[in-house]
Structures are given as structure tokens and as C-alpha cells.
Amino acid sequence: PGLASKQVLCMDFVPGVPLSQLRAEMKRRGLDIEPGSRAERVFGRQLLQALTEAFAVMIFEEGFFHADPHPGNIFIRPDGSVALIDFGQTKRIGYGFRKQLAELVLRICDNDGVAHGDLPHE
């Protein structure tokens, strides 16, 4: 706090491999996974769950989101966890919109297609 400003860029080193380079890195280490294999599907599910949790915390708890989440900005850490880098493009989300978005997500999860159109537009 107090060390960053519009003129100062703060950076931290994040150990890991960008998602965009993961397959090549795994192959280099002799961990090549067959495309479409069970191992690839399990990894994909775990990655999706980790990213979903990360974005849920960002959006619903912290009130902001990373607006540039491409595979080069998603790192797989040595312990298998996920790290997001390059927060140069972020947006804040107000409480009212977060509440509406949470309602929409819950309705989608409940498969309540009719209710989606019932949400007020702001």
C-alpha cells in the first residue's frame, strides 16, 4: 500500500508455465498426455474448476475481474495450482450488478431458462 501509482509498475515473479506453453513443457519433461485421453479430460476439469473458483472470488467477493484472461496470462504453478498474471486490464463491478449476476448464474445452474428474462436490465 502506498508504493504503487500510475507512474510505478509493481511486479511479482510467479513460478510456473503459461497455459499457452503447457503441452510443449509437459512433452519436454516426458509427460506427454494423449489428446482426448482420460488424463487430459481430468486435467481440463481441474483447470476449469480452478479458473471458475478464481473468477467467482474476483467477481462476487472482491468486486472486480481480469479482463484479459488468455492462455498466456494463466499460469500452472509447480504445485498444480493456477495463477493469473497481467492485471493491466481490470474492471470494477458494483454490488448491485454483482447481485444480479449471481442471480443469473444461480438460475442458469438451476436450469431455469424462463426466469433468465425476468432479471431487470440496468
**Catalytic entry in 68, 79, 86, 112:** 68
- Among candidate residues 119, 120, 91, 122, the one with its CA nearest the CA of residue 104: 119
Residue type, 4: A
- CA–CA separation, 71 vs 51, rounded Å? 12
Beta strand pairing status for 74-76 and 17-18? Answer: antiparallel
Nearest to 69 by CA among 84, 48, 81: 84
User: 110 catalytic, yes or no?
Assistant: no
C-alpha cell belonging to residue 33: 498426455
| Residue numbers annotated as active site | 68
